Structure formats: structure tokens, C-alpha cells
Chains A and B, each alone.
Chain A
Amino acid sequence: MKLNVKRLLAATAFGALATAAAAEYPERPINMVIPYGAGGATDISARTIAEPLGEAVGKPLVMVNVTGAGGATGSVNVQNATPDGYTMLFARVGSHSVNPAMKATLPYTLDDFRFVTVYEINPVACAVSPSSGIESMEDLIAKVNEGGVTYSSSGVGSLLHLAAVMVLKEYGVEDPLNQATHIPQKGGGAAATAVLNGTATFLCTNSSALANFVANNQLVPILVTTPDPVPGFDAPTAADEGKPALHQLVGWTGIAGPDDIPDDVAEKWGAWMATATQDQGFLEKMTTRGSVIELMDPAQANEFIETQYNTFRKLVDELGMRIEG
């Protein structure tokens, strides 16, 4: 509360100064749209970076949660915003690579956004319930071939949905859509619960969403998709298993604006992010949650997302998963 009063005073003072001096970006608070709900992975990541980032920017960052339709509602909000750099988006793997790859009806494409950075990579892990008797990917695949295996996700077109399919496909399951059943849930928490109570056999999701259950021995990890092991997850990596194609399967968080934001705005963001990601407190908080901090400049970010999108798109087209309706 105190902090906000201070911020208010500071904002008023700055406002007066800014109008007197030549207007230079940013001259007022910047709205940062988070397309997912409070308490979720994107929200926590965004609010953690907001602290050092706000200092670097020098103006308050107003965190705006606009939820709905798997991140589409918030993304469209930014897509249609004035491209002046005062409305930016925390883009996420779900909203900006899985969704565009899977949904033909999505009201936006990747070209509608200009990425200024990707700053965080989340490993993906697959987990099963200890009572299932499954101890490794081999066991799981054997079960899939027997039939009756199900996997949960946070909804159609979510990372969790695609991840499970992609992992099964990589492990040689010919037709993952019909050999295993997808049971969509409302949200990531519900997806983990579904595996916990036996509704679904396994799920593949960001390691941060599973860390708690793994630490409590409620879920057993059987695979992580990164080349390096994830602390706290006693499971083979995709590299150990000889599946390098799965390295593409990671979560990420980045910042984007509408596609026609001016160049100088994009450059400023690059500089701010470089400062913000150096912050010790930020690094510590993020890495304890299992994230890998990897700052990309706009060109790298675009390439990274494009590659991931194309990988996903290829898989989706191959299996006929694209949602047309």
C-alpha cells in the first residue's frame, strides 16, 4: 500500500516534468498485458520480471491480466492496441506457438506481433502417478500399445496437449491421437490433479508446474525434454534417451508488441531487458522455480519462435490435429 502511494506521488511529479520536457518514450506508465490468470506460470514470471524491469524503464509498469480462450483474448487486446509501445504483451508458448499452429480460427497470427525479447525457457517434463506402475517412457509406450492410456491437458491447443502428442510420436507411436485419449481439463492445476486422482495416465507440462508434486512424491517424472537435467527431477533427459527433436518442446515467456511498434521503442526494450535480467533477486527466484534465464534479442527471439512454430505446425498437419471449426 505504502509503495503505491509513493509510486503515485512519483508518477505525478514525473508527469509534470515529462510534459515540460520533450516527450520521450516512455512518458507515462506502460500497460503490460498478461493473457493468463493470476497465480499461473505466466503471471508469476511476468510479475517477477516486472520488479527489476520497472526500475530499468523508470516508469511504472501496470500489470493487466486479460484472460480467456487460452490466451487469445489478451493477445487480441494487444494486437488491436495503438502501436505506441504503451501496451505490450507477455507472450507465452501456448498463446504464440502452439495456438497459432493448432487453431485455424485464431484471430491473430505470429505476424501480427513484434517480439522484443524472449527471456525465459521452461523445461517440459512428463509425469505419471506412482500408483500407475509406470517407471519409464518404455513402460508408458508399452501401455499405449496395449491401449487405454489417457493424458490430461489444460485445454485443446495448449502446450500440454501438443507436448503429450509430440512425445508419443517421437517414441514411435504411429497414431497418438487414436492410440491414446486426450482428456482436456480447465487449467493446468486441474490437469495435474487429473493424473493425481487417476483420471488420466500421464501429462507433459512445464517442470515448474510439477515441481511441487514431484517433491512430495505424488507424481513421478519420467522424462524432461531439455538437453540438461532439471534439478529435483530424477528423470532421463531427451538427450539421454536419444530424442534430440524433443529439445524444441520447451515453454518460454517473451515480450511482444503490436507488429508496427517503432524501432526505437523495440531497441529500448532490448536495453531494459538486458539490465533487468542481470538482477540477482530475479535470477534467483526464477531459477529456484526451474526456469532457465536466456535473454534473446528480437532477431533471436523471432527465429526461436518461428522454428518452434514450424516444428509444431508440421506435427499438427501430419496428424491432422488442426482445428478448423
Chain B
Amino acid sequence: MSFIDSIAAGLTLVGNIESFLALALGVIIGVIGGAIPGMSATMAVALTLPFTFAMQPITGILLLLGVYKGGIFGGSIPAILIKTPGTPASSATILDGFPMAEKGEAGRALGMALWASCTADLISNLSLILFAGWLASFALSFGPPEFFTLILFSLTIIAGVSGDSLLRGALSALLGLLLATIGLDLVYGTNRFTFGDPNMMGGLNFIAVLIGLFAIPEVIAMVWHPTAHLGKTRQLGSSWVSFADYKKSFKSIVRGSFIGVFLGSIPGIGAAPAAFLSYSEARRKSPDKENFGKGEVEGVAASEAGNNGVAGATLIPLLALGVPGDVITAIIIGAFMIHGLQPGPMMFVMNTSIIYGLFIGLIVSSVFLFIFGSLAIRGFKYVADVPKRILVPAVLILCVYGVFAVNNNIFDIGVMFAMGWVGYLMMRCHIPAAPFLIAFILGPLLEDNFRQSMLMSGSDPAVLIRGPITWFFWGATALTVFAIIRAGIRATKGLKSSTHEVDLSSE
């Protein structure tokens, strides 16, 4: 069957009103679900799954994909408006999105998030269609040693999100790494810092830590100083993203999309690291480096491009290998199997029409995302106008419900509260929270992959340099660390010379 035939077969399969309705409905459910903290894209997909059982396979799967895509974008709405990421993938969006909202530019931030998301989504879908086979075989060459070096490299992101002091960023990251050691040991199954509590044995819930670290400190800060926000504009105003903004951030968006595609095609990394990596790369390359973290529109664009770039690409290992890349695709693979479809290399031969039908549906989903995303922004933007001292208790309650819903465990609410105080103390001490979060995500991956490498090689460290992929990441890590140290030395020199001047003038 030629390419054209395949596309025609796909078209006949999706060229009906149900498919498009399902896709549209999916995007709507996703955006709303993603916009509710704790609900997250994962839960929205899990909730939609039972409804797809009775549908045609393609319709059901398109519905789920719509939810997935909508959810990843939807998460950025509360991240920008109330500093609570709706879905873990949108944590990086907080870094610049929330300061923009504080400056009264929520509309501009949300608009940019949408434009960046749709662009990245499109790039990601096209990559899936064009490079699925190639990227899938590439993903299979990622064993534990390759993962270890990739994650080691990803940890250098910390330097990019540390703000004004690299050492405090490193301290934050170490706290995150230490906190992530709680739970059962991977290799021996023994307890680490669990104090015999079964709730701790599974490790601290990621979303509880995430929401505790970002949203709850805002509540506590409000309690400490209830009138601090008075006099600052927080309205959505008439600010809207301009084409100039888009043009300025376009490079970062494209770069972020490809970072997302790359990390998305490797199972087991997920969207949050992609967003952070894209963000730190954008910051490194930007002429307005100083403005990042203080409300830079390019920062929002980069993080949203990073996480939406993942959304299409996670389907590469799913369709081409039958391997789910994250929790969401693990649920989606369930939907395939229930309909008797078995994702994997054979599916490209046996069910070509379904594969191409999906491809066409995915391209259309980017358009739907743009339409319904704009509507959602219009609906949610009034949140920015709610009096802050009503909004804050409401956020608290919303977080309580959301965090409970993730794992149906009251203990997680306690974790969220406790992390709220940790986050508040860090805020008072000017320790950035983002490195903490990145380390909390990547730390266990780093340790596990290191130990798996050691197990597979019989404790021979040579396995860590076993192939070109590992060499590449070792090299990249070395270069980045070198650049960070050089920048650090320059900064201290600059500081010294400025103190020197102060000393002189005081003489």
C-alpha cells in the first residue's frame, strides 16, 4: 500500500462526524481536567477510559488523545493564574507565568502558553508521523547506562533555574534528592526513612510535594502579610499576546518542541523534565537572560513548548514498540488492548488505516486545541479578578481535594501541608523551589539507573561509557558544567570588582 493509499484509508476511517466530535469533546474534557489542580491530565484520561469501551476503536482512542493533549495545555492555566500547576508537566510554566500574572499580564501569559502549546503540538505530531520508526529504534537503544548519562545531563538544568545564587540552587536540589530517597529501596526492598509507616513506603506522592511546594507557600505568605498585594495590579487587563512576542519566542518554541519530541520518544522521562530543559535552554540563549524568572514571556513559551512537544512524541514508543512512555500512555495502551489492537511494529503492517487515521486525527487535534484553548482562557481569566483574600482560601480547599483525589489518601494532604511549610521557609530564605522539584523527579531515576547499570555489568563501571549515546551525554554534561563554572567565576569576579569599587568610594 502506498503512502497516498494509506492516507486515503485513514481518511475514510476518521472522516466522520463521530471522530471529530470525540476529538473535540476530548480536548474540552482535557483542558478542564488539566485546569483543576490534582485532577491532572492523567486522571482525566483515566476517567474517560471506561466511556471508550463502547465506541469504535478509532473514535475511542481519538477521544483519549484529545483529553491527553487538552490536559497538558490545561495545566498551564492554574500554573499561571494561581501558581498551582494543574498537571506536573506545567510546573516550569509557573517560573515566568505566575510573575506575569502578578504584573497584570495574565492574558499575555495564557495567550503565549496557548500559541506555544499549539505550535509544539503540531511539530510533535509531525515528528511522530515522519520519524516514528527511526525514533522508536533509537529509543530502544536506551538502556540503564544511557538513561543514567541522560539524566545526569538533565540535572544541569538546575543551574538554569537557580536564580541569583547557584549554591542555593544546589542546596535546594540536594534537599529534593534527599527527600526522594524516602521509600522502599529499589534493589533490596529495604526501608529508607519510612519509620515503619506504610504510607511512606511508596515514597512521597509527587503531586502532593509539587502542590505543597508551589501553591501552599502562597497561602502562608498571605497569612503572614495579608495586605502585601494591595496596590499591585493583578487584573487580566486588556493585555494579550502579540505577534511580536510570538516572533521573538519562535526560536525557543521550536527548540523546546524538539527537546520535547526527543525526551518524549524515550520511555520513562515524561513531560516535566522536558519543560524544564526547554526553559533552561531558552534562558541560556536569550539576550534577556536577566528577565527570566521575573515574568519573561519567552520563558512561558519555552516551557509550554517543551511539555506539549512531549505529547505527540510519547505515542512513538507506544505505537511503534507497544511500550508506554509514562502513566498516561500506559492508560491509553489499555484502550488499544481492550479493542483488540496490539500496538507494536506489526500494527503498522496489519492496521495501517488505524495508524493513519490516528495521524490525521492528531493533526486536527492541534487545531481543536487552539480553538478550545482560546475559549478556556476566556472562561478562566476571571480567576485573576477574584479578590485575593477570597482566592487564597479557595486555592487551599481546591488543593486539598485535588491532592486527595490523586491517590485517595489523606496522608498525602498532610505531605502537601508539610511541604507547604518547607516551601515557605525556602521562599523566605530565597532558595529557589524549581531545582528542588527537578531533583525530586530526576533523583530516583538517576539512582535507579545507576544501580541497574551496575547490576547488569556486575559492578563494572565501564558499562557507563559503553556506546556513542553515553559518550555524547558525558561530553554534553562536561561542557555544560564547564560553562556553568566559568560563568560562576566570572560572576564572583564581577562581584569582587564591584565590592572593590564600593570599598574605594567609602575610603
Contact = CB atoms under 8 A, between A and B. Distances in A.
A, B in one complex: yes
Interface of A: 1, 3, 33, 37-40, 44, 47, 64-70, 72-73, 76-77, 102-103, 105, 107, 148, 150, 155-157, 181-186, 189-190, 192-194, 196-200, 211-213, 215-218, 285, 288-289, 323, 325
A323 B407 contact: no
Contacts of A289: 337
Contact of B189 (A157, A198, A216, A217): A157
A72 B346 contact: no
B407 A181 contact: no
Given A72-B198, A190-B268, A199-B452, A215 B144 contact: no
B143 A199 contact: yes
B186 to A, nearest CB: 5
B460 to A, nearest CB: 12
Contacts of A72: 198, 201-202
A38 B322 contact: no
Contacts, number: 149
B333 interface: yes
Contact of A212 (B144, B199, B337, B458): B337
B456 A199 contact: yes
B144 A199 contact: yes
B340 interface: yes
A71 B5 CA distance: 48
Nearest to A79: B198
A68 B186 contact: no
A143 to B, nearest CB: 15
Interface of A is mostly: mixed
B342 A215 contact: yes
Given A38-B330, A155-B189, A218-B344, 9 more contacts: A44-B338, A66-B408, A69-B183, A73-B409, A77-B408, A155-B186, A183-B452, A198-B143, A199-B143
Q: Enumerate the 8 nearest inter-chain pairs by beta-carbon distance, A residue then B residue, closest first.
A: A68-B202, A216-B344, A156-B189, A325-B190, A69-B201, A39-B331, A76-B198, A69-B202
B202 A150 contact: no
B455 A64 contact: no
Contacts of A44: 334, 338
B487 to A, nearest CB: 35
Contacts of A194: 143
Nearest to B349: A216
B97 interface: no
Task: With a 10 A CB-CB cut-off, give which of A189, A200, A211, A218 has the most chain B CB atoms.
Answer: A189
Interface string B176-217: 000000011111111100001011011101000000000000
Nearest to A69: B201
A4 B337 CA distance: 25
B142 interface: yes
A68 B201 contact: yes
A67 B342 contact: no
21 contacts: A38-B46, A39-B46, A40-B330, A47-B50, A65-B407, A70-B184, A72-B202, A73-B199, A105-B191, A155-B184, A181-B455, A183-B144, A185-B452, A186-B448, A189-B324, A189-B330, A193-B267, A194-B143, A216-B346, A217-B345, A323-B189
